[in-house]
Structure 1
Amino acid sequence: MKTDEKLVNIPLSQIEPHPSNPNLMSQPLRDKLAENISRSGRYPPPVVRPLSPGRYQLLDGEQRCYVLRDLGETSAWCLVWPCSDEDALILLATLNRLQGDDVPGRRAQLLSELSAYESLAELARLLPEEEAELEQQLTNVGFDLEAEISRLAEQAQRAEDELPVLFSFAVPRDEAAVVEAALDLAMSGLEGTNRRGQSLRLLAESYLEREGRRAGDR
């Protein structure tokens, strides 16, 4: 077992996130993490690797470092684990599954980078996923979260635009019979659903034609 890691107090300004980290934490969970650290004054040490003199890269604990900065701390006690680029990716794929949630596209990109070093069978031995799960997740490479959100928003807007408009109005009781008779007459030749709504449209169109106007005119 390797024992070359050490606990070091490092200025937060010298610590940078790993660009392949797929893990995010919601603001409510981050607020709870901040509350716990603030109350206890304790936190699991973030794990970093040395990049160059005075520069470190996070392998685990990105959310803790964010919270410590928000709390006004200028340094953090970190475990320094010297490791290769490949080992750094493996640690990202394992340690960061313990807090927060992975974004599918980011997780897939991380796995894609790892597959350049190891076979899926070997990765399945090292990572939480089985080989079949790894194959499935790799289909998310290139997944554009912002584009998917935009597509779903447009889809929801189209669905909303296609919803029928509900009209609600009142007429004097002694005039209701006239309105009902007109609607019934207009409905008599109609088929399908919402015949009552269709009949109101026909009556409105008939009135506009009589007045020489079109829908949308003011």
Structure 2
Amino acid sequence: MISIKNLNKIYKNGSVEVHALKDVNLEIEHGEFIAIMGQSGSGKSTLMNIIGCLDRPTSGEYLLDGIDISKQEQDDLSLIRNKKIGFVFQAFNLIPRTNILRNVELPMIYAKVKSSKRKQRSMELLEKVGLGDRVNHLPNELSGGQKQRVAIARALANTPPIILADEPTGNLDTQSSEDIMEIFKSLNNDGTSVILVTHEPEIARFADRVIVFRDGAIIEDSQKEGVLK
């Protein structure tokens, strides 16, 4: 599904070059649940942005389902993102003046899904994350955990095979964090690939594979005992 070879990302800060990723090699198969860990500035979020087609590598190869991402035009990358990848962010990124049903519909609007199908799909997804009775609520009427449930439902709108979650529990209390991770685990059990960035070991334990970054490079790639490689 994801094949990364000799990937490098260099940012320029004035006259200074920052080597955010250094010769990263990584293979990710369909249906994996992966946690990417590391200190701030280790390169984990940079890698996440490249996997999510939000940024391009300076050099190296990134194939997503056989597509060479570095060779795609911006419009093509937008289509790939909308079809193949669902995003969940720490800050939720919900539209505050729009009810949660409409928030979940947004990716389907971009995908030009018919209105009736959008509403039906959004209702089903909100039911799936336990918010079927809140569809007309605005985001500011929900708790942090509930907002993240809406964000997950929105990420699933176009049935992407991959969910990318960047510190999805960073703004949540312990119980809400556990609840959100159980949702991710359930999605993974149903066949969705989940790749999440976290600095919390108690969150990473939900994953079947943990990749640790330091100074732009992978220093550990471990799999739970009993999980097939």
TM-score normalised by the chain length of structure 2: 0.26
- Give the strand-richer structure, 1 or 2: 2
- Give the helix-richer structure, 1 or 2: 1
State the structure with bigger RCO (CA 8 A, min sep 6), 1 or 2.
Answer: 2
